Structure 1
Amino acid sequence: MINNIFNFINLHNGEEQKDKVLANVTANISFRGSNLWILACAIIIASIGLNVNSTAVIIGAMLISPLMGPIVGAGFALGTYNFSLLKKSFKNLLIATFVSLTVSAIYFYVSPFKDVQSELLARTAPNIYDVLIAFFGGLVGVIAITRVEKGNPIPGVAIATALMPPLCTAGFGLATFNFSYFFGAFYLYTINCFFICIATFFVVKFLQYPSSIIDNKYEKRIRYGITILIIVMIVPSFYLAYNLYNEKKFTKTAEQFVQKEFENNGYTVIYKKINYNSNPRTIDLAFLNKKFTDKEINSFNKMLADNGLAGTRLTIRQNDTDIKSEILSEINKFDSNISEKDITISKLRQELDTYRTSDSTLLKEIEILYPKINNVSYGKIEKFPQTDSAQLMFTLLYSGDGIDQDQLARWLQKRINEKNISIIKTDVK
């Protein structure tokens, strides 16, 4: 039974002859002639995809890219201790990297569109998940290479490990002199290259490819070197993953605070911006018709620490011009053609909805339950208590005698789910 299980998962089943695999890997290392032209074209396609934020175009560029060749070659060279092959692989990888950075930097420099799109931004902050994707993608790739029947994993590996987009993003960083983008994207590219190489090394050792050296001292040195490099590459990615976790946690906590303190109390939020990376962290809000005093704003700021948002400042924008410009700025990120007229119309519609009671059956139910009632009118109006702000109150006007207003108010509270209800009798006949 156990032998059958081991035979079922044995990687040696369906394995290609080792000399043929090595010959194939060696042949795909060089970047000369057609390979170099294909790489340059793939870089331009990927750069255009990042520029116009097209996922399909980026995937197409990754599929035609020949970048995997020298990386897999380096993994095979390490696994077989073939230093001449390792030197050749690194040389060609450096050539490919230099050409890719140069072509993408030139494209983004001459391109009139230099907006940072989401596809580009996603390649500037690698973390531990990128390490896992590169490693397991590399495992799939090298296992497929060592099979007699290659199957279809290779295109999937090219997409999953994503070597092209970070290189193009690094080129964008160079073209726009944004070196934080350059270093973040180039670090992601380095992670992908390194862990594909390490995955290849492990599979080559597991499949027992013949070694080019006999001295065990060299093997130990290589293993120690690989271990040190793995630690050096992984530690920063753990930090970035931890930082990403804290950012997501902060954003979720801030969203919950806004919902609990404002939205659940009936205040319509028309603008919200949560910034984790500022110092202090900020939550910017604007409301449809509610105006807060400085005392109220200070009170909300004091509540932040009790809600897990220590070191955060809450800002409520109440200047109409300021609010309008902020909303337009946010919307223009998605659609640069939107006009100020559209914002005004949207704001008026939202304001109108707060006064509207859209229940076509309510009047019929009132007439059935209270047959003595006449001339019914209802809606939401602003009530001004002894404060500096107004409250919306559902108000019903009627004429007629023998109506129990308290009973009618209690029924309406349940019927339309409104706490503040005012019943007024008029003299209209």
Structure 2
Amino acid sequence: MSDSSFSGFVQSFKKLAVDTLSIREGSDPEATIEGIKKDMTFKGHAAWILIFSILIASIGLNSNSPAVIIGAMLISPLMGPILGIGTAIGIHDVDMMRRALKNIAIAVVISLVTSTLYFSISPITIEQSEILARTKPTILDVFVAMFGGFSGIIAGSRKEKSNVIPGVAIATALMPPLCTAGFGLATGTYKFFFGAFYLFFINSVFITLSTYIVVKYLRFPIKKFIDRSKYRRYRSLLIIFLTIIVMPSGVIFMNMIQETRFKIAVDNFINDNTVFQGSELLTQKIVYTDTLSTIDLYYMGKNIDENKIIFLNEMLARYGLNAKAGEYFPLTKKTLVRIHQEDGSGADIDKKFAEYSNDLHSKLLRDIYTKNDEVIRDKDLKIKLLEKRIYNLNASKKDPYPVQQLNKELKFQYPEVEKYAITSIQLQEFEGDSLKVIKHPVLLVKLSDTVTDEQRPEYLGKIEKWIRIRLNDPKLKVYKF
């Protein structure tokens, strides 16, 4: 190929690349700025849409439903003021900047108050996996926010609008972190609040940065010019600010990589070294820290002697599970293997479980031991749920009424009730010469002094109607103490 032919090919390829990747053609800066200004205000219907979308997202997090969470993100109007901040910085519009900051602050307050109130009255207080996923942001979330921000502002700057913005809202996930922060406030788990709010903050900052870059590249009309020395100073401050913001997510990401490497090494160690004749490994619990990590192995069968335990701990170094001198990035400084074992002499596991098939604790153990790897990682969470179920089962044997739930509902609907008792009494009824025993449900209620004697019959009547519907028992009677 001659030089002229090669030069022509390069020029043709360059033109094709420019035509394919150019975003200036088809942009409409003036209309884009006006559209962003219109979308960044939270008044009237926009505020109510935000409240409803927050409630939907909170329900989705509470019920661990990704579909519901995605639906909430589709109707969320949170992107407006964030795009407004980036655009205002890019065109040097101070008034627009103030409005955007004011509205994002209003949106954050509304979101936190709404989600906190929801989780305060919700009977489900378990940290679902959808909640936990939004408490440890990493550097990957920064990239998602930046690429999502680029997509959002480029799509918004077109003369012909597209449906990219809803997808950006889902990808950048602005709303679920705010709902998770509300969960942290409602339950007092402030590490969830700070982790989730940090995720929302870095998403907002890097969407803003992407918007600023695109606005500058598309040469949106500048409202006010600033001198070059101030511009350089502001740019230096921005770089410092972004570096400080990103650092914690980078540290979390590195820790996540280290933990993943650690767990892979632990899996290899367990597969290679934990089979002992006469004993069977039921499950394991792995706890990772950068200082002291633990591997708890749960066996059933023949007792494992001390020499085998020493052997397991000595083998850790071969898998990189104990730090060596001079090692720069060890998986962990020290790992300890601990053996937990049922008393016995090698009895068959199924037989062992059959002996205690009627015991609730053995059912709990069997449930834990037969979980798959994914459930094992969340074992502590599942134990809490199972213990609560066992408690409710034991309680229901003693008393057929859901006392724990009634406590919450009575306190919420009838705050004047100071205490109550619900049970079944036996009525002795004569039918001719025979005696008939009838079980009769009764609710005894003590009201506070704020309810007058004249008001008490009507108030007790309301409680009676409610409790009959609540327990589906039309015979239930309500009496005062």
Same fold (TM over 0.5): yes
Check 1:323–1:218 CA distance in 2 against 1; reply closer, same or farther (3 A cut).
farther
CA distance in 2, matches of 1:332, 1:123: 16
The gaps in structure 2 that reach 5 residues or longer are 1-11, 323-333, 344-355, 369-378, 391-481
1:306 equivalent in structure 2? 318
The match for 1:333 is 382
CA distance in 2, matches of 1:113, 1:299: 45
Structure 1 residue 57: deviation in Å? 0.4
Measured after TM superposition, the shift of residue 23 of structure 1 is 0.6
Q: CA deviation at 1:304?
A: 1.5
Q: 1:63 to 1:290 in 2, by over 3 A?
A: farther
Q: State the partner residue of 1:53.
A: 64
Question: Is 2:261 the partner of 1:249?
Answer: yes
Normalized against structure 2, the TM-score is what?
A: 0.66
- Residue type matched to 2:321 in 1? L
Deviation of the 1:133 alpha carbon: 0.3
Contact 1:332–1:338 (CA under 8 A) maintained in structure 2: no
Instruction: Give the residue type in structure 2 aligned to 1:315.
Output: R
Structure 1 gaps, min length 5: 340-429
Out of 308, 318, 343, which is 2:341 matched to? 318
Query: 1:333 is paired with a residue of what secondary structure?
Result: helix
Q: Indicate the residue corresponding to 1:101 in structure 2.
A: 112
| Structure-2 residue corresponding to 1:287 | 299
Q: Given that residues 51 and 110 in structure 2 are in contact (C-alpha distance below 8 angstroms), is that contact kept between their aligned partners in structure 1?
A: yes
Q: Any idea what SS the aligned residue of 1:313 has?
A: strand
Distance 1:324 1:248, change over 3 A: farther
For residue 332 of structure 1, report the CA deviation from its aligned partner.
7.6
- Tell me the distance in 2 between the aligned counterparts of 1:127 and 1:272: 27
CA offsets per residue over residues 111-140 of structure 1, 9 Å max, x none? 111101111000000010000000001100
- Matching of residue 86 in structure 1 with residue 135 in structure 2: no
User: Deviations for 1:53-83, whole angstroms, at most 9, x for unmatched residues?
Assistant: 0000000011110000000000000101111
Distance 1:221 1:331 in 2: 50
Equivalent positions of 1:179-198 (< 5 A) are: 179-198=190-209
Q: Which amino acid aligns with 1:59?
A: I
Q: Secondary structure at the match of 1:211?
A: coil
Q: Does 1:169 align with 2:180?
A: yes
Percent of counterpart pairs with the same letter?
A: 41
Q: 2:282 aligns with which of 255, 270, 276?
A: 270
Q: Distance in 1 between matches of 2:234 and 2:37?
A: 21
Matched residues in 2 for 1:193 and 1:294: separation?
55
Asked if structure 2 preserves the Cα contact closer than 8 Å seen for 1:271 and 1:327, the reply is: no
Q: State the TM-score, normalizing by the size of structure 1.
A: 0.74
- Aligned in 2, Cα 1:281/1:132: closer, same or farther, shift over 3 Å? same
Q: Distance in 2 between matches of 1:219 and 1:210?
A: 17
Kindly report structure 1 stretches of 4+ aligned residues shifted beyond 3 Å: 263-268, 320-332, 334-339
Amino acid at match of 2:169: A
Counterpart position of 1:355: none
SS at match of 2:40: coil
Q: Residue 331 of structure 1 contacts residue 338 of structure 1 at CA under 8 Å; is this kept in 2? A: no
Which residue in 1 is equivalent to 2:216?
Answer: 205
Asked if the contact 1:317/1:323 (under 8 Å) is kept, the reply is: no
Change over 3 Å in CA distance of 1:11–1:263 after alignment to 2: farther
Partner of 2:126: 115
Over 3 Å counting, the alpha-carbon distance change for 1:221 and 1:264 in structure 2 is farther
How many residues matched? 339
The answer to whether the Cα contact below 8 Å between 1:53 and 1:118 also exists between their aligned partners in 2 is yes
Change (3 A) 1:265 1:165: farther
Equivalent of residue 54 in structure 2, options 43, 50, 59: 43
